[in-house]
């Protein structure tokens, strides 16, 4: 079975946002260029890990090139765009830095679960999306994603689950 591959080599925006109340939020990664809009479902932990990975990649780039990649967050619209129709749930993400173009490629791979009675060989190939963004766009995504993750419950005891603290 052939695999679906999507590539946006230029982005107008890239963001992470949530839908739903605290404790039931669904995280979305969204990017767009012109009329093309890509939306994916991600986990809270993936949003945090992505923010950290982006920060590390850009900090490393800035250190090697003696530059500072900054962004004016107040000037950016980091809200999710309508319609919010996720293409797939993300199983894993990766980052690649193209130093020649000074762009970071965010790669998202679809989560594919084998159906009952279906072997791994018969399962469909996961879709892959590659989104090329500037260092400034990715710095903004990192800062915004971290802020979005931190907007959740301030106290883990409020999550409706039993939490034990050992002293």
Report cis status (omega within 30 of 0) of the bond before 83.
yes
- The SS3 assignment for 148 reads helix
pLDDT at 92: 96
Q: What is the pTM of this model?
A: 0.86
Which tens digit of pLDDT belongs to each residue from 26-36? 999 999 999 99
Cα separation, 40 vs 102, in Å, equals 25
pLDDT at 163: 46
Domain boundaries, given as residue ranges, for the chain: 10-112+121-153
Cα separation, 135 vs 61, in Å, equals 9
Which tens digit of pLDDT belongs to each residue from 46-89? 999 999 999 999 999 999 999 999 898 888 999 999 999 999 99
Q: How confident is the model at residue 155 (pLDDT cuts 50, 70, 90)?
A: low
Q: Are 46 and 93 in contact (CB under 8 A)?
A: yes
Topology (CATH) of 10-112+121-153: Secreted effector protein pipB2 fold (3.30.2450)
Token pair of 6 as six digits: 């999507």
């Amino acid at each position: 079975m052939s695999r679906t591959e999507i590539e946006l080599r230029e982005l107008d925006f890239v963001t992470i946002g949530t839908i739903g109340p605290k404790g039931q939020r669904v995280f979305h990664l969204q990017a767009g260029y012109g009329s093309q809009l890509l939306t994916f479902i991600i986990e809270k932990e993936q949003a945090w890990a992505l923010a950290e990975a982006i920060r590390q990649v850009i900090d490393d780039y800035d250190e090697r090139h003696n530059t500072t990649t900054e962004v004016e967050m107040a000037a950016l619209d980091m809200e999710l765009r309508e319609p919010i129709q996720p293409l797939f749930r993300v199983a894993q993400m990766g980052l690649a830095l193209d130093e020649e173009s000074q762009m970071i490629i965010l790669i998202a791979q679809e989560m594919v679960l084998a159906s009952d009675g279906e072997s791994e060989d018969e399962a469909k190939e996961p879709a892959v999306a590659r989104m090329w963004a500037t260092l400034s766009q990715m710095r903004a995504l990192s800062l915004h994603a971290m802020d979005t993750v931190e907007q959740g419950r301030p106290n883990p005891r409020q999550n409706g689950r039993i939490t034990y603290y050992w002293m």
